[in-house]
C-alpha cells in the first residue's frame, strides 16, 4: 500500500476496520490474528509518520530556499520601492505557490499519519478487549451468563461454605490423632 495515496489509505483503513470485530466463538483464532493485524497497521502507521516528517522537512527547505532567493532578488518577489522587512519576507514566502504546494503535501501526509496512528491505537484497544474476553471465557463467564441468574446471597453462602470447609480441613491436618478422637467424642 502506498501511504502517500489518500484513496489507498482510506481503502486500507476500511479493510482493517472490517476485521476489528471479535468473534467470541473463535477466541483462539482471534488471538492468532491479533499480532498480524497489529503488525500490518503498525507498519503502515510508521511509514506514514516517516512520510509526514519528510514532507515537513521539504516544506521547511522550500521556505528556506525562498527566503534566500527573496533576499537576493527582492524586485522579482516584492517589487521596487517596498521596504524589505522580515514580515514582508515571511508573508511573501507563505503566499508563494511553491511553498503552499509543499505545505499542502505536508498537511496531507500529517492527516494520513494521524488516521493510521488512531487506527493503531484502536487495534491496541482490540488486544485489550480480546484479553478480557479470554479471561471471561477462562472463568466460564459465558456458561454462567446463559444459565439462570445467580443471586448474590447464594454466592456469599457458597463462598462462606467453601471457606469453612477449607478451615476444617486445615484444622484436621494440624491436630494430632489424639485430639481428633477427643473432638469426635464431644
DSSP secondary structure string, the chain?
A: --TT-HHHHHHHHHHHHHT-S--GGGHHHHHHHHHHHHHHHHHHHHHHHHHHHHHHHHHHHHHHHHHHHHHH-HHHHT-TT----HHHHHHHHHT-HHHHHHHHHHHHHHHHHHHHHHHHHHHHHHHHHHHHHHHHHHTTHHHHHHSPPPPHHHHHHHHHHHHHHHHHHHHHHHS-HHHHHHHHH-
Does 54 share its domain with 127? yes
> Which of 145, 116, 117, 118 lies closest to 133 in space, CA to CA?
145
User: Are 96 and 115 in the same domain?
Assistant: yes
Same domain, 178 and 131: no
Residue 115 and residue 169 in one domain: no
Same domain, 129 and 174: no
For the chain, the domain total comes to 2
Decide if 119 is inside a domain: yes
Same domain, 162 and 73: no
By C-alpha distance, which of 42, 38, 26 is closest to 127? Answer: 38
- Cα–Cα dist 35/39, whole Å: 6
Q: Classify residue 53: in a domain, yes or no.
A: yes
State the burial class of residue 62 (Cβ atoms within 10 Å of its Cβ: 0-12, 13-18, 19+): buried
Q: Does any domain span residue 1?
A: no
All residue ranges of the chain with pLDDT < 70 are 1, 3-4, 141-167, 169-171, 173-186
**pTM of the entire predicted model:** 0.67
Mark whether 65 and 155 lie in a shared domain: no
Q: Are residues 69 and 158 in the same domain?
A: no
Provide the phi-psi class of 84: left if phi over 0, else alpha when psi is between -120 and 50, else beta: beta
Answer yes or no: is 30 within a domain. Answer: yes
Whether residue 176 sits in one domain with residue 121: no
Cβ within 8 Å of residue 134, ≥6 positions away: 27, 31
23 occurs within a structural domain? yes
My answer on whether 131 and 58 are in the same domain is yes
Asked if residue 29 and residue 88 are part of one domain, the reply reads yes
Q: Does 92 map to a domain?
A: yes
Residue 27, in any domain of the structure: yes
* Residue 19 forms part of a structural domain: yes
**Range of the structural domain that residue 186 is part of:** 150-186
Amino acid at each position: 500500500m502506498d501511504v502517500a495515496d489518500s484513496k489507498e489509505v482510506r481503502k486500507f483503513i476500511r479493510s482493517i476496520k472490517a476485521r476489528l470485530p471479535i468473534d467470541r466463538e473463535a477466541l483462539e483464532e482471534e488471538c492468532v490474528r491479533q499480532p498480524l493485524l497489529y503488525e500490518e497497521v503498525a507498519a503502515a502507521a510508521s511509514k506514514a509518520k516517516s512520510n509526514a516528517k519528510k514532507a515537513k522537512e521539504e516544506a521547511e527547505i522550500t521556505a528556506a530556499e525562498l527566503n534566500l532567493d527573496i533576499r537576493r532578488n527582492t524586485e522579482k518577489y516584492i517589487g521596487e520601492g517596498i521596504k524589505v522587512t522580515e514580515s514582508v519576507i515571511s508573508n511573501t514566502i507563505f503566499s508563494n505557490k511553491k511553498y503552499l504546494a509543499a505545505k499542502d503535501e505536508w498537511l496531507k501526509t500529517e492527516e494520513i499519519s494521524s488516521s493510521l496512528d488512531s487506527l493503531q491505537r484502536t487495534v491496541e484497544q482490540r488486544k485489550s478487549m480480546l484479553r478480557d474476553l479470554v479471561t471471561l471465557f477462562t472463568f466460564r463467564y459465558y456458561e454462567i451468563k446463559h444459565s439462570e441468574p445467580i443471586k448474590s446471597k447464594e454466592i456469599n453462602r457458597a463462598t462462606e461454605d467453601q471457606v469453612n470447609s477449607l478451615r476444617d480441613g486445615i484444622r484436621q491436618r494440624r491436630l494430632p490423632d489424639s485430639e481428633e478422637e477427643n473432638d469426635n467424642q464431644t
